Amino acid sequence: MSTATEIDVKELLAKIDSGRRPTLLDVRNDDEFGNWKIEGRAGFEIIHVPYFDFIEDEQAAIERVPAHEVVVVCAKGGSSEMVADILRGAGIPARNLIGGMIAYGEYLEPLKVPRPRDEEGDFEIWQFNRRGKGCLSYAILSEGDAIVVDPSRAIDVYASFLEQSGVRKVHVLDTHVHADHVSGSRSLAERLGADHTSMKGGESIRVGKILFQAIATPGHTPNSFCFLAAGRYLLSGDTLFTKSVGRPDLGGQVVEWSLDLFDTLKDRLGTLSDSTLVLPAHYSDMTEIDPNDVVAARLGQLRHDLPEFKVHDPNRFSEMMLQAVRTPPPEYARIIDVNLGNSTIDADLMVQWELGKNACAASAQH
- The predicted-structure confidence for 44-61, as pLDDT tens digits, reads as follows 899 999 999 999 999 999
Please name the helix (run of DSSP H) or strand (run of DSSP E) that holds residue 60, with its range, or none.
helix 58-62
Task: Determine the pLDDT at residue 197.
Answer: 84
Between residues 58 and 121, which one has the greater pLDDT? 58
User: For 10-21, b where at least 16 C-beta lie within 10 A, e where not — what string?
Assistant: ebbbebbbeeeb
Residue 117's pLDDT band (boundaries 50, 70, 90)? confident
Residue 185 near residue 177 (C-beta atoms within 8 A): no
- What's the rounded mean pLDDT across residues 134-155? 97
Using 50, 70 and 90 to split pLDDT, how confident is the model at 302?
A: very high
Q: Which fold has domain 108-362?
A: Metallo-beta-lactamase; Chain A (3.60.15)
What's the chain's average pLDDT?
95
Which one of the listed residues 74, 135, 226, 360 is annotated catalytic?
A: 74
pLDDT at 366 over 60: no
To the question of domain 6-105 being in CATH 3.40.250.10, the answer is: yes
Helices (H), 90-195: 100-106, 155-164, 185-192
| pTM of the full structure | 0.95
Given a contact cutoff of 8 angstroms between Cβ atoms, the answer to whether 365 and 307 are in contact is yes
Residue 2 has what pLDDT?
75
Half-sphere CA count of 193, side-chain side, radius 13 A: 4
The per-residue pLDDT for range 253-282, each reduced to its tens digit, is 999 999 999 999 999 999 999 999 999 999
CA-CA-CA-CA torsion sign (96, 98, 103, 108): negative
- What number is the average pLDDT over the span 192-196? 91
Q: Over the stretch 353-362, which tens digit does the pLDDT of each residue have?
A: 999 999 999 9
Angstrom distances, CA of residue 83 to CA of 1, 24, 189, 193, 277: 20, 12, 42, 45, 46
Annotated active-site residue 74? The verdict is yes
How do strand 94-97 and strand 70-73 relate by DSSP bridges? parallel
Domain residue ranges of the chain, discontinuous segments joined by +: 6-105, 108-362
Express as a percent the part of the chain with pLDDT over 70. 99
**Is residue 119 over pLDDT 90?**
no
Residue 1: per-residue pLDDT: 63
Helices (H), 252-330: 254-263, 299-305, 307-310, 314-324
Q: Are strands 245-246 and 277-280 parallel, antiparallel or unpaired?
A: unpaired
